[in-house]
A and B are shown apart, each in its own frame.
Chain A
Amino acid sequence: MPEDATKYLSHLELGEPDQTFLDSNELIINMGPQHPATHGVLRVILKLDGEKVLGTECVIGYLHRGVEKIAEHRTYAMFNPYVDRMDYVAAVSNGLGYCEAVEKLQNIEAPPRANYVRMILTELNRVASHQLWLGTHALDIGAMTPLFYTFRDREEILKIFEKYCGARLTTHAFRIGGCLYETYEGFEQEVLKFVKFVRPKIDEYEDLLTTNRIWVERTRGVGVISTKDCIALGVTGPVLRASGVKWDLRKAQPYAAYAEMDFEVPTGQNGDTYDRYLVRLAEMRQSLRIIEQAVEKLPDGPILAKVPKVLKPPVGEIYHSIEAPKGELGYFIVSDGSTQPYRVRVRPPSFVNLQALDIMVRGQLVADVIAVIGTLDIVLGEVDR
């Protein structure tokens, strides 16, 4: 046992030590930060009885870059690229949330065309994020092939991003007040072509996994979290919806142009890993629906609103949140009237969702911890910021 591990164990509310084989009591195992299945640099201290998990403690901060602090020394526009580095697999969503928050603070209205373009790109990014999640999650559980399939299809999305803004991952696609770039020639056709291309591919993932006995056995009844616990812990996103709560910010507090879109919010019942898997697959399909509608209705007009060269929002504070692929992504910005924000606080979905890990894995086996970390869909860049 590493020496400092004991320090954290004092926080654990663990029951009476259970007697185990040969009187060896609990085993304390350190998982990560260098572990192939922790999706980055998460460190989990596990308290085990044989293979049964008695409790966990997450140690985070290995990827802390002080994003929130940096914001205090940058102008509003300068800080925009930084948010892409939080949830780097869903950079577009991060940018959208930040831009909308600042616009709200400054009282700028993005033009409708910009809203539609933003929506298309964000939903594409949601599909990409879910695809990446599916591939790695399946790989954790031992199914190697889906990874390659999802990455192949994600590549198409990245190509669209690259054509639009020149970057594939950390796109910095949006600006405060709209988008900087007009869509390129054939953007609509390419997006529609992608939608047509990816629909059967999602069925293909389902063919590989949904009715696969081993997959079902590994995921059904694993990492169950109840609706009550979800709400108590502030869990959001697909995890919350898989526990049966129909809560989606796109429906509940519509932003961009989501109010004009027709889509459904898929939910599960059992709140187990299998349901979360199904919910995310369904969400990918819904995203495709949104993209189709948005491309169809894409209005003409300017793409960037009139924005002052130097942004000096009035004194005040604002909280704005959007539905990122992983859950509610919120920005709380306090302005002192200068060109730089007084304080920026990010409510990252991964960070909040990670709290649920302990409740989900207690009483399960070690192998399930990996499945559960996978199913929470965390990105350490966002957790640590």
Chain B
Amino acid sequence: MEALGQISTLHYLVLAAALFVLGVIGVLTRRNVVIILMSIELILNAVNLNLLAFSRLYGLHGQVFSIFVITDAAAEAAVGLGIIIAFFRNKETVNVDEVDLMKW
């Protein structure tokens, strides 16, 4: 196990990047809005991981910021899900590519 070495900041950054990319893939490819919102949560969490990894190097500011990020995520989830419900009520679907009322 030790062969893999001490866990450095870089390890965390790579993990964060992986989660970020997964989130981006979700946002770009899925049709279900709920899952897109979840992917956004993945992205936000990747950012949090980065902040915390750096906070180990530079002090507590990163942790404070990650708390703000979590706050934002809560607000975003609430509003996002509210929109989904309103959307579903009107269109009976949760597919993002069927939201095209503005398209001519």
Residues of A within 8 A of B (CB): 22-23
Contacts and interface: CB of A to CB of B under 8 A. Distances in A.
A22 B89 CA distance: 5
Contacts of B67: none
Helix, strand, loop or mixed for chain B's interface?
helix
A31 B76 CA distance: 41
Contacts of A23: 89
A347 to B, nearest CB: 51
4 contacts: A22-B85, A22-B88, A22-B89, A23-B89
B52 to A, nearest CB: 39
A23 B85 CA distance: 11
A22 B85 CA distance: 8
A23 B89 CA distance: 7
B42 to A, nearest CB: 27
Interface in B64-97: 85, 88-89
Contacts of B88: 22
Contacts of A22: 85, 88-89
Query: Across chains A and B, which 4 residue pairs bring their CB atoms closest together, nearest first?
Result: A22-B89, A23-B89, A22-B88, A22-B85
A257 to B, nearest CB: 68
A129 to B, nearest CB: 50
B90 to A, nearest CB: 9
Nearest to B92: A23
B63 to A, nearest CB: 39
B93 to A, nearest CB: 13
Contacts of B89: 22-23
Contacts of B85: 22
A84 B77 CA distance: 64
A18 to B, nearest CB: 15
A94 B89 CA distance: 57
A285 B85 CA distance: 57
Nearest to B85: A22
A23 B88 CA distance: 10
A289 B89 CA distance: 63
Interface in B16-56: none
A332 B91 CA distance: 62
A348 to B, nearest CB: 48
A373 to B, nearest CB: 35
Nearest to A23: B89
B35 to A, nearest CB: 20
Nearest to B90: A23
B86 to A, nearest CB: 10
B82 to A, nearest CB: 13
B84 to A, nearest CB: 11
Nearest to B88: A22
A71 B89 CA distance: 60
A148 B37 CA distance: 53
A22 B81 CA distance: 13
B104 to A, nearest CB: 27
Nearest to A19: B89
A21 to B, nearest CB: 9
A232 B85 CA distance: 46
A344 B21 CA distance: 84
A322 to B, nearest CB: 58
A49 to B, nearest CB: 16
A19 to B, nearest CB: 10
A22 to B, nearest CB: 6
A22 B86 CA distance: 8
